[in-house]
Structure 1
Amino acid sequence: MAKNDFCNILGMREGTLNGNYLGLPSVIGRNKREILGFIKDKVLGRSNSLTHKFLPRAWREVLLKNVIQAIPSFAMSVFLLPIEMGKDIEKIMNSFWWGGVGENHKGIRWKSWDRLSVPKRWGVMGFRKIREFNLAMLEKQAWRLIDHSSSLLSRTYKAKYYPNCTFLEAQLGSNPSFVWCSIHEVQPILQRGFAALIHPAGSSWNIPLITSLFNQEDMNLITSIPLSNTRLNDKIIWMEDEKGKYTVRSFYKTLTDDHDFDQAPFWTRLRAKHVNIPGVCQLCNIDEESYFHLFVQCPFARSCWDMFGGVDYVSSNNLLDWLESIFTTKNDNDICGIISTCWKFWEDYRGCYSLEKKPHTGMLKINVDATLDTNNKKMGFGYVIRDSTGHFLYARCLPWPSIFRPNEAEAIGIREALTWIKDSNLDNIQVESGCLLLVNGIIHGHDTFSSFDLIISDIREIASDFDNISFLFAKRSTNRVAHLLAREALPMYGYMDFSMIPFPSIAQVLSLDIS
C-alpha cells in the first residue's frame, strides 16, 4: 500500500526489481560476492585487454591509476565490497603492474600491493588500497546525510532508519538494506561527543565544563581550537581538511598516512632515479655532497665554526654524533646560535636568500610572524612597521597564553595586528605574512566553516574598515625581523611596544633587511 501511495504522489509507476540501474544491481541478496562479481570481472577484463601490449613502466602506472583503479569507484561509493573481493582486485592490479594477468603471464611479484600502495611522499608508488578507498567513498555519503540534511535522500533515510535521532545516533535496525549497512559501517568514524563547551555569552571556552568532561590530553586538544570573534550558528566541520569540508582524499590520507620510512638525502634519491645532477658540494666544489659535509666538513662551514668559536668539527664521524656532542656539551644560547647557523648554511645551499622589498611610496608595511612553544603551550607574535623608505617606525611583541596549529596561529597574528594598527589610527597598510595559504584565503575568501576560515572572516571584516590595505606573501628569509620579535615575545607576560628606536635584538637584522 505504501508503495502505491508513493508512486501516486510522484506520478510514476513501480518498476521491476530485476536487472541493473545506473550500472548497479537493483537487488542485493545474501551472496554479495556473486552479485558484485561483475566488478572484479570488469577489472580483470580491462587488465587482460592491456596486458598483451608492450607498455613502458610509466604508461602502466598511468593506466593503472586512471583506468583500472577507476573501474570499481562508482560501485564503492554505494556498496561496501566484501574484503576478499577487494583483495582479489588488488591481486589483479598487482599482477598487471609486474607484467601481466592470466596463465600466460606468470612471474615474480617483487612487492606486495600493501607495499606498492604506500603514498608517494614516502618514496613508493602510491597505488590505491581498495578497502580504505571504499570506506572513504562511503564516508562521503554519510557526511552528506549530515551536512545536507534537507536533501531528499537524507530525509528518506531519516524517515526510514533514524526518525527520532541524528545519523550519528542511528542504529542499524531490523531488515536494513545493503546500502544502509554499507553507510552505517563508517558511522563510528564520524561519531563525536557534543556539549555546550563554549560560553554562550562570549567567544571563549567553558574551561570548568571541559575539565569535568575530558582528560588532560583531550582538554588540551579542545582548547587548542581557536574561536572566532564573530557569533555564528554551530556547524559540523571536517577537521582533517583545512577548509572544513569532507573530501575523499583527506579521509583516505588519514587511513593510510601511518608510515615512517628512513629517507635518503634528496639528491641521492634523485640520482637513484637517473636524474643527472652534480655529485659534489655546490658551496666548495671539492667533496661529495651529504648532510654531514654541508653542516660540518665543508670548508665554508668550518670557517664559520671557527668564527663562532668552540665548535668541534673534527672528532665526529657523522651528523648525528656531531649534533649529539653539541647538545650535550653546549649551553642553550650556543645551541640556538649553532642551529641558526646551520639553517643559514641550508639557505645558502638552496639559494633562497633574498632581500625584503620596500613598500610603495606613501604606504606603510607591517610584517607579521608567529612562533609556537609546544613545551609551554604558548605562542608569540612579532610585528614590525616600516615606511616606504624602509625606516623603522613601530614594533610589538605579543605573547599568547595558548597554542594552536601553525596556520591558525599565523591567522590570529594578523587579526591581532590589524586590531593594533586600527586602534593606532594607521592606514595605507601593506601586510606581509609567511603563510601563503592564509594570504590566499584573505584575498579570495573561503565559503567554509573551519576554525581557520572563521578567523579569516574576522580578518576580512576588520580589513574592511581600512581605506587602503593589501596582503602579500613574504618568504621566511624576508620576514626575519618579525620572527625574532615573535621569539622575544614567548617569555613575556604582556605585550611590549617600541617606536622609532628598535628592539636591541633586531637592530642588526633590521639594518640588513631592506634592499
Structure 2
Amino acid sequence: MSVFQLPWKLCEELDGLCARFWWGQVGNERKIYWKSWDKLTLSKKDGGMGFRDLRAFNLAMLAKQGWRLLNDTTSLVYQCFKARYFPRTSVLEASESPNCSFVWRSLVAALPILRLGHCWRLGDGLSINVYRDRWIPEYPTNKPFLSVRDDEEEVWVSRLINQDLHVWRRDFIMAHFNREEGEAICNIPLSRRQVSDSIFWKHNKDGIFTVKSAYKVAKAHLRKVDWTESSSGSGGSRVWAAIWKLWIPNKIKVFGWRDVWHDSVRALQKCGTGQFDFVALLEYLLDRLDRTEVELWLVQAWLIWNQRNRVVHGGKLMELGCLNRRASELLEEFQQSQIPPPQDVYKLNYDAAVFEDSASSGFGAVIRNYTGEVMAAMTVKGLVVQGSDMAELLACRKVLEFAIDASFTVLVVEGDSVNATRWIALGTENQLAIGHVVGDIRHLAGALEWTSVSCTKRNGNRVAHELARFAQKVNVDLFWMEEVPSVAIEYVNIDASLI
C-alpha cells in the first residue's frame, strides 16, 4: 500500500466490508446504515467517525515515498528514478511515461499531493525559481500570480536578496512585483547565516511530512475541494468537538454522535426551550451547563434510551432514581487530574507584540536574578510580521543577542508562546519556513555556558509583555542595565512572586 497504488474497485470493496462491520451486519442480513461511508470518513470534528478512506490513505502512503525522494537525493532509488524518468527536471515536475514501471506510475499518482503540500524554506535563494516554485508561505498560491516572459523564466530568488547584508532588495522587489506580492516577499524573515534552501511540509505545524496530514490533503484533492476550505464540513462543528471531548464511555459518545446526525434533520418533539433540532439543543445546553453537567445529561439520555429498548423488548421498567445513580457511577470512572512544576538562576523573559495599525511589531525582554531583581531590560521596535509565532521567534532571537552582548551566560529563557518554546526546545531540525530563525536561536543558545527554554503563563510574563507593547510608542531601541523600566515597574513585583 505504501509502494503500489491499489485499484479503486478493490478500495471500494474493502470500504464496504468496513461499513458492514461497523453497522453490525452479519452474513446476508440487512442492517440500517445511519450514514453513508463518505460521511463516516470525515474527521470527528467535522461530524464523521474518522474512518480511513482507503483511496486517500493509499495516496498519502505513496506521497511519503515521494517525499523521501525529494529530501534524499543521494539514495540509489532516487538516482535510478532520475536517470530513467526525470533526468532534466525535479521529482515534482516529473510525469508518467509510456513504458514506466507500476511503481513509478503509483508514485506519479501521488505527486499532486506533494505539489499541494510542499513549500520552499528560503535560505540563500540559489535553488528556488521565482515564478515556478512555491516559496512564499503567507500567500494564497505560495508563488507570484503574474505570468512572465520566456526570457525571464529562469529568475532565481537569490537575485532578490542582498547576500552581503542578508536583507531583501526591497526597492527592486517593489518595482518588479505588485504591492501585495512585494509585501508578502519582504515579510519573509531571512537567516543571518549562509544556509541552503530546503523544502518543508506546510500542512504540519512542525513542517515535517506526516501521513496523517498528507491524508487530509489527499482527501480534499479527491473531492476536488481546495485544502484550505476542506475543514468546514457539516454544521454544528462546536457540537462535534464537544461530544468527542467529553469524559464519558466511547459507546455513549457514539450514541450522542448518532443522535446528533439523525435528529439534525428532524424537529424535536415536546422541547420546552424552543430548540428546533438536537444540534440546537446541545448548543443550548453547552451555553448554560458546565462540562460535568453536560456529561451527566448525555449519560442519562443514553440510559433512558437503553431503558426504552429494554421495555420494548419485554424488560422491566427501572425507577428514575436508579437511572440517576447509575449515571453518576459511570461518570466517576472517568475522573482524572494533573499536576505541574518549574524554577532557577538568571531568568530571561521575552515577549512580542504585533501592531497591525502601524504595520510594525515590538520585542520586549527582562533579565532577573533568582531573587527577582531586574538585571537588564530592553524594548525594540521591529518590522511587520506574519503571525504571533513568527513574532515570538524573532523576539527570542533578538533578546538572546542582547543577553550575549550584556555578558549573561547562564540563562533560563521563558516566553508565553507554546509553539515557539516547543520548536526551540526540540532537538531535531525545524522544517518550517521560519525554521532558520529557530536554527539561529539554537546557535545563539549554544554560545552560552548553560541555557534552558521553557514556557510560562501570560500572568507571569507581564513585564516583558508591557515592554513589547511600549515599543509602539518609541522609534529607537531602548536598553536598561540594573534598572527597572518605569513603564513596567508596577508589574515587576507581581512577576517576581511567580518566579
* Alignment TM class, shorter chain as reference: 0.5 to 0.7
Structure 1 Cα separation of the partners of residues 357 and 24 of structure 2: 52
Q: Does the CA-based 8 Å contact 2:113-2:214 persist in structure 1?
A: no
Q: Where in structure 2 are the equivalents of 1:99-110 lying within 5 Å? A: 99-100=24-25, 102-104=27-29, 106-110=30-34
- The equivalent position to 2:453 in structure 1, one of 463, 471, 476, is 471
Q: 1:377 to 1:112 in 2, by over 3 A?
A: farther
Partner-residue secondary structure (3-state), 1:236: strand
Structure 2 Cα separation of the partners of residues 375 and 82 of structure 1: 54
Root-mean-square deviation (CA, aligned residues, Å) is 3.7
Structure 1 Cα separation of the partners of residues 375 and 176 of structure 2: 48
Letter in 2 for 1:489: A
Structure 2 Cα separation of the partners of residues 447 and 206 of structure 1: 28
Partner-residue secondary structure (3-state), 2:404: helix
Partner-residue secondary structure (3-state), 1:237: strand
- The equivalent position to 2:478 in structure 1, one of 492, 496, 506, is 496
Structure 1 Cα separation of the partners of residues 55 and 473 of structure 2: 49
- Give deviations 1:33-69, integer Å, cap 9, x for gaps: xxxxxxxxxxxxxxxxxxxxxxxxxxxxxxxxxxxxx
Moved more, 496-505 or 172-181: 496-505
Name the counterpart of 1:485. 467
* Correspondence 1:89 to 2:62: no
Name the counterpart of 2:383. 401
Structure 2 Cα separation of the partners of residues 266 and 164 of structure 1: 48
* Correspondence 1:263 to 2:253: no
Q: Does the CA-based 8 Å contact 1:445-1:456 persist in structure 2?
A: no
Name the counterpart of 2:407. 425
- The equivalent position to 2:80 in structure 1, one of 156, 161, 181, is 156
Partner-residue secondary structure (3-state), 1:432: strand
Q: 1:380 to 1:291 in 2, by over 3 A?
A: farther
Question: Once the 2 structures are TM-superposed, how far is the Cα of residue 389 of structure 1 from its aligned partner?
Answer: 1.4
Letter in 1 for 2:51: F
- Give deviations 1:139-175, integer Å, cap 9, x for gaps: 2222222222222221121121122222233232333
Q: 1:428 to 1:269 in 2, by over 3 A?
A: closer
Name the counterpart of 2:36. 112
Q: Does the CA-based 8 Å contact 1:367-1:479 persist in structure 2?
A: yes
Q: Does the CA-based 8 Å contact 1:243-1:446 persist in structure 2?
A: no
Question: Once the 2 structures are TM-superposed, how far is the Cα of residue 368 of structure 1 from its aligned partner?
Answer: 1.0
Name the counterpart of 2:98. 174
Q: 1:289 to 1:178 in 2, by over 3 A?
A: closer
Question: Once the 2 structures are TM-superposed, how far is the Cα of residue 267 of structure 1 from its aligned partner?
Answer: 6.9
Structure 1 Cα separation of the partners of residues 22 and 175 of structure 2: 54
Name the counterpart of 1:41. none
Letter in 1 for 2:60: A
Q: Does the CA-based 8 Å contact 2:96-2:108 persist in structure 1?
A: yes
Structure 1 Cα separation of the partners of residues 173 and 25 of structure 2: 57
Q: Does the CA-based 8 Å contact 1:265-1:291 persist in structure 2?
A: no
Letter in 2 for 1:250: S
Moved more, 92-101 or 415-424: 92-101
Identity %: 31
Q: 1:250 to 1:99 in 2, by over 3 A?
A: same
Letter in 2 for 1:387: N
- The equivalent position to 1:184 in structure 2, one of 98, 108, 118, is 108
How many residue pairs align between the two structures?
368
Q: 1:212 to 1:161 in 2, by over 3 A?
A: farther
Name the counterpart of 1:414. 396
- Give deviations 1:344-363, integer Å, cap 9, x for gaps: xxxxxxx99x9x97x64xx3
Q: Does the CA-based 8 Å contact 2:44-2:241 persist in structure 1?
A: no
User: What TM-score does the superposition give when structure 1 sets the normalisation length?
Assistant: 0.61
Q: Where in structure 2 are the equivalents of 1:233-248 lying within 5 Å? A: 233-248=196-211
Q: 1:131 to 1:270 in 2, by over 3 A?
A: closer
Name the counterpart of 1:31. none
Q: 1:417 to 1:151 in 2, by over 3 A?
A: same
Structure 2 Cα separation of the partners of residues 399 and 451 of structure 1: 23
- Give deviations 1:161-212, integer Å, cap 9, x for gaps: 1222222332323333333233223334444724324333342234456546
Q: 1:460 to 1:274 in 2, by over 3 A?
A: closer
- The equivalent position to 1:378 in structure 2, one of 349, 360, 370, is 360
* Correspondence 1:147 to 2:71: yes
Q: Does the CA-based 8 Å contact 1:381-1:485 persist in structure 2?
A: yes
Partner-residue secondary structure (3-state), 1:470: strand
Name the counterpart of 2:265. none
Name the counterpart of 1:227. 190
Letter in 2 for 1:459: I
Q: 1:408 to 1:175 in 2, by over 3 A?
A: same
- Give deviations 1:106-140, integer Å, cap 9, x for gaps: 21111222222222344642221223222222222
Q: 1:222 to 1:249 in 2, by over 3 A?
A: farther
Q: 1:183 to 1:94 in 2, by over 3 A?
A: same
Gaps of 5+ in 2: 120-131, 134-155, 221-229, 253-283, 291-336
Letter in 2 for 1:158: K
Question: Once the 2 structures are TM-superposed, how far is the Cα of residue 218 of structure 1 from its aligned partner?
Answer: 4.6
- Give deviations 1:371-408, integer Å, cap 9, x for gaps: 33456553322212222211234332222212134333
* Correspondence 1:392 to 2:317: no
Q: Does the CA-based 8 Å contact 2:46-2:240 persist in structure 1?
A: no
Gaps of 5+ in 1: 1-74, 277-287, 295-350
Moved more, 236-245 or 385-394: 236-245
Name the counterpart of 1:20. none
Structure 2 Cα separation of the partners of residues 81 and 165 of structure 1: 27
Partner-residue secondary structure (3-state), 1:513: helix
Structure 2 Cα separation of the partners of residues 108 and 491 of structure 1: 66
